[in-house]
Homo-oligomer: A and B are copies of this chain.
Amino acid sequence: MGASGAAVDAGRLPLRERKKLRTRQALVDTALELFTAREFDGVTLDELVDSVEVSKRTFFRYFASKEDVAIAAEAQLWQAYLDEFARAEPDGPFLTALRTALISALEGMDADWERRFIATRRLIGRTPALRDHSTLTSFKTQELLVSELETTLGVDSRDDVRLRLLGELALGAWRCGAKNWVRAERHSTRRGTGARASLIQRVEEAFDAIPASLTLCA
């Protein structure tokens, strides 16, 4: 199937835009292949850039850093999460809304994303620089969600800590659920259960465990 990647949806865009999408996708796909084969630290940007036949200068017009291109699949998920949450009708506890939007975003990703996401998470698991970058990205997503909450509620998060806490809780649950997911996926006894389903389950369990964790005693 080659390095097809995320199918480059060319929804009748002007030629220039289609080319940009192609370049971007080529960078993402090639990066993941190279990093998977020879480790993140074992591949220089110049190598990646040569493989795709693009100048280094151009690379930095698409991505802010070497880490960014490596975790592109995660960024895609966060974008979907933000969209999902922005679209959602406010109703009931916000923590539930944050939870539901996250699960919906996960369920809405396509099959090719799943393949790339699994490979990405494996790579992150064995690359300290990427672990840090991935963690930071989840924190930035958290802050964007809080901004969204602010506009929805018309409240400044500086006046109500609860907004920020909601961000910490939602992405915190994600971080807990996602933590050893890929590692556990490897020697998963119950085959047939999709990898994504098990991730969703872990995240749901994390959300469920929040109240109990508050009162966990010695």
List CB contacts (< 8 Å) of A160-179 with chain B.
161-162, 164-166, 168-169, 172-173, 175-177, 179
Shortest A128–chain B CB gap in Å is 11
Task: Spot the interface stretch: A13-21, A54-62, A103-111, A209-217.
Answer: A209-217
Q: Are B169 and A214 in contact (CB under 8 A)?
A: yes
Residues B172 and A168 in contact, CB atoms below 8 Å apart: yes
Contacts of A86 in B (CB 8 A): none
Bits for A113-156, please: 1 = Cβ < 8 Å to B, else 0: 00000000000000000001001100100000000000010000
Copies in the complex: 2
A218 on the B face (CB < 8 A): yes
The answer to whether A93 has its CB under 8 Å from any CB of chain B is yes
Task: Establish whether residues A168 and B164, one from each chain, have CB atoms under 8 Å apart when the complex forms.
Answer: no
A135 cross-chain contacts in B, Cβ below 8 A:
136, 139
Residue-wise, chain A 194-218 has the 8 Å CB interface mask toward B (1 for contact) of: 0000000000011001111111111
A-B contact pairs, 10 of them (CB 8 A): A90-B218, A91-B218, A158-B179, A161-B177, A161-B206, A161-B209, A162-B212, A168-B173, A169-B169, A169-B214
